[in-house]
Amino acid sequence: MFKGVGLSLSLTGLLVSSGVSAQSLTVEMEVPRLDVAEYHRPYVAMWLAAPDNSVAAQLAVLYDLELKDEEGEKWLKDMRQWWRRGGRSLDMPIDGLSGATRGPGKHRFQFDDRVSDLPAGDYRLMVEAAREVGGRELIAIPFQWPPTAPASHAQQGNDELGAVVLELRP
């Protein structure tokens, strides 16, 4: 009657007993509410940088997907560091990587699938924002992977970004 349940429980037990764990990387990003005459939501790129500044993993690219003729892609290069570090070689949109811009408020992103094969080492979470008729901002948060204990690292933005919090779970 419940044949699949036994197999499922057996596989779960096998994963637990073999020491396989699911590390977790979560980013909470705040987009501040700005009191300006002409407000546009920021384009945001998130990636992991290795010590040599190469891209270890692309996490997210948030931009205006609604513009006709893929006009929103034209402005991706305004996120200069991300663009130079690998953004220009991507063919947007990319399912699971690209998404719509976010308005003011706190936004949470879970990236467990993007870091499951990440080699052990030192990395930096890079979050870059650029806004039309606005400014640009880049935040870097250093961390070690894989986490051995739960950890939280935060950096406060100045203009285009509010607080960016990186949460790591073993």
| DSSP for 8-65, written as a single string | HHHHHHHHHHTT----EEEEEEEE-----SS--PPEEEEEEE-TTS-EEEEEEEEE--
Instruction: Match 């010590």 to its residue by tokens.
Output: 51
> pLDDT, tens digit, for every residue of 29-81?
999 999 888 889 999 999 999 999 999 999 999 999 887 778 889 889 999 99
Range of the domain at 115: 22-169
Q: 32 exposed, middle or buried (CB, 10 Å; 0-12, 13-18, 19+)? A: middle
> pLDDT, tens digit, for every residue of 110-163?
999 999 999 999 999 999 999 988 899 999 999 999 999 999 999 999 999 999
Is 16 part of any domain?
Answer: no
Determine the Cα angle at 45 with ends 23 and 22, to 5°.
5
* Element (DSSP H or E) covering residue 165: strand 163-169
The pTM is what? 0.85
Is 60 part of any domain?
Answer: yes
Is 14 part of any domain?
Answer: no
Is 124 part of any domain?
Answer: yes
Is 149 part of any domain?
Answer: yes
